[in-house]
């Protein structure tokens, strides 16, 4: 049982840790050109700074749930924060690209544990009837940070240095370690023998999937990327065969027998393909086609984060009134329509017209990700929570990567083949993403009207 102090402040501690981690990724992405110039490297080669972080996360997320159950949620979470801070320090000390890539991998190992375990702690620490409200603290950082990160990164690089982007993690990490030791409960679950073979097959499948996604974005390596993707599918098939026979598989296949988890997981992936591309598409649209500066774009995108914050107090009552089934279908349709509306803005339009659309985009994103995540994990048993939560984290990471890849590839196809240029190509992508998002939301019709009632 949580003490009154823990119950009050635990969500804020975990939300702050998640915010720092996700914010850091958004900051680094925008600062790569400056870091490349400082290290004397090409911007193209600097992409390995990001891909090394993502690959490290992909490999380590599958083991996070088991480690938390066996060694305690507090212990593993604090170790993850410590590793993330050490990786940040090493990144700031990097004098060449190789050292920076290795340091980013260390950050990725810490990040792989921080994100799923923070959500796991929230799920385990509070009654299921409070799950929807509590999940807000895990969802908001993921929505706010990608839109706040770019503007913060621009200011830090411009007025301080690129090393400061990594060093700002240290005081926040130390504060998290001190408060976390005091507030985070050390929760355990009985565990069986670890499934090393299952871990190897699943982790390598995740590694090769993400590597293939990165390679596909480089047009000259499409054949190699295709082979990587095919090999990843082979590894997934081998894992499924292994899981059917293993006594204690890493991710038991009976997870998919739970209808709400199965629908939530698949719906999560389908809808994120379109919605997760928004943080990439919006800055490109505003800067490349409308001529906004990076600072102007950053401040405008903060409106999305503001919308996500404003809806937080009303989320529970909205969901309770509409039900998960209805709200997920209606809200996903609204998100798709908002993405399409963005495609109709033109260069001469005032920035004031963007404000209500971006605000509503933030509102709908917060509703969508919170309800979608809650319905996915809401019916998991105590023994299933760790593995189901880790699988959800992997699923979300894949969807974000695929959504980003889709935007990049579609732009290449439209512009390199001279099919469309400038604003027309962005309009086409927005229409495609919007229609895909609307259609993907129909999958939630598989839910029953009473599904998820026990979570609010």
243 within a domain of the structure (yes/no): no
Residues 261 and 351 in one domain: yes
* pLDDT value, residue 141: 84
Residues 41 and 168 in one domain: yes
188 within a domain of the structure (yes/no): no
CA torsion sign for 83, 89, 92, 95 is negative
- Number of Cα atoms under 13 Å in the Cβ half of residue 108: 22
* pLDDT value, residue 415: 62
Reported pTM: 0.88
Q: Which of 183, 210, 232 is the last residue of a domain?
A: 183
Max avg pLDDT among 58-72, 279-293, 416-430? 58-72
211 within a domain of the structure (yes/no): no
Residues 269 and 418 in one domain: yes
26 within a domain of the structure (yes/no): yes
Mean pLDDT computed over 193-205: 93
Dump pLDDT digits (tens) for 292-321: 777 777 788 888 889 988 998 888 899 888
* pLDDT value, residue 219: 63
Q: Which of 152, 183, 214 is the last residue of a domain?
A: 183
Q: Binning pLDDT at 50, 70 and 90, where does residue 85 land? A: very high
Residues 402 and 285 in one domain: yes
The pLDDT of residue 251 is above 60: yes
Residues 51 and 172 in one domain: yes
Domain hosting residue 333, numbered range: 251-456
Mean pLDDT computed over 65-80: 94
Contacts of 105 (CB under 8 A, 6+ apart): 52, 53, 55, 56, 87
- Number of Cα atoms under 13 Å in the Cβ half of residue 92: 18
Residues 179 and 255 in one domain: no
Q: Binning pLDDT at 50, 70 and 90, where does residue 391 land? A: very high
242 within a domain of the structure (yes/no): no
Residues 178 and 298 in one domain: no
354 within a domain of the structure (yes/no): yes
Residues 141 and 54 in one domain: yes
241 within a domain of the structure (yes/no): no
Contacts of 135 (CB under 8 A, 6+ apart): 119, 122, 370, 373, 374
Residues 162 and 259 in one domain: no
CATH of the domain at 335: 1.20.1250.20
Residues 282 and 144 in one domain: no
Mean pLDDT computed over 18-31: 80
How many domains does the chain fold into? 2
Mean pLDDT computed over 239-264: 93
Q: What percentage of the chain carries pLDDT values higher than 70?
A: 95
Q: Binning pLDDT at 50, 70 and 90, where does residue 348 land? A: low
Contacts of 190 (CB under 8 A, 6+ apart): 69, 383
Q: Which of 165, 183, 201 is the last residue of a domain?
A: 183
342 within a domain of the structure (yes/no): yes
Residues 309 and 432 in one domain: yes
Chain centroid to CA 375: how far? 17
- Other Cβ atoms less than 10 A from the Cβ of 197: the count is 15
């Amino acid at each position: 049982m949580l003490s009154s102090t823990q119950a009050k402040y635990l969500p804020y501690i975990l939300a702050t840790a998640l915010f720092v981690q996700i914010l850091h990724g958004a900051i680094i992405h925008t600062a790569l050109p400056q870091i490349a110039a400082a290290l004397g490297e090409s911007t193209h080669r600097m992409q390995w700074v990001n891909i090394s972080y993502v690959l490290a996360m992909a490999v380590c997320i599958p083991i996070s749930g088991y480690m938390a159950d066996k060694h305690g949620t507090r212990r593993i979470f604090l170790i993850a924060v410590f590793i993330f801070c050490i990786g940040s320090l090493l990144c700031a000390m990097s004098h060449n690209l190789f050292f920076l890539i290795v340091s980013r991998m260390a950050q990725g190992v810490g990040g792989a544990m921080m994100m799923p375990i923070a959500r796991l702690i929230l799920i385990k620490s509070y009654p299921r009837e409070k799950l929807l409200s509590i999940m807000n603290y895990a969802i908001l950082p993921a929505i706010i940070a990608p839109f706040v990160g770019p503007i913060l990164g621009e200011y830090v690089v411009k007025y301080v240095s690129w090393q400061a982007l990594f060093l700002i993690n240290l005081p926040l990490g130390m504060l998290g370690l001190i408060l976390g030791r005091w507030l985070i409960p050390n929760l355990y679950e009985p565990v069986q023998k670890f499934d090393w073979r299952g871990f190897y097959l699943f982790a390598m499948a995740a590694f090769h999937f993400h590597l293939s996604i990165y390679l596909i974005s480089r047009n000259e390596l499409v054949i190699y990327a295709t082979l990587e993707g095919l090999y990843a599918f082979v590894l997934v098939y081998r894992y499924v065969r292994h899981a059917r026979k293993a006594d204690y598989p890493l991710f038991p296949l009976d997870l998919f027998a739970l209808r709400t988890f199965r629908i939530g997981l698949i719906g999560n992936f389908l809808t994120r393909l379109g919605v997760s591309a928004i943080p990439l598409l919006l800055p490109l649209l505003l800067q490349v086609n409308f001529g906004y500066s990076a600072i102007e774009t950053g401040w405008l995108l903060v409106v999305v984060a503001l919308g996500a914050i404003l809806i937080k107090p009303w989320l529970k009552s909205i969901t309770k009134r509409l039900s998960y089934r209805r709200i997920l279908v209606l809200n996903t349709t609204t998100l798709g329509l908002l993405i399409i509306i963005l495609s109709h803005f033109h260069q001469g339009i005032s920035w004031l017209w963007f404000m209500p659309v971006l605000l509503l985009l933030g509102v709908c994103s917060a509703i969508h990700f919170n309800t979608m995540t809650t319905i996915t994990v809401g019916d998991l048993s105590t023994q299933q929570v760790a593995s189901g939560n880790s699988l959800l984290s992997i699923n979300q990471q894949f969807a974000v990567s695929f959504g980003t890849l889709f935007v990049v590839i579609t732009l290449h196809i439209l512009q390199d083949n001279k099919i469309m240029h400038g604003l027309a190509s962005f309009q086409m992508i927005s229409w495609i993403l919007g229609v895909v998002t609307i259609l993907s939301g129909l999958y939630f019709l598989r839910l029953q009207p009473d599904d998820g009632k026990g979570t609010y």
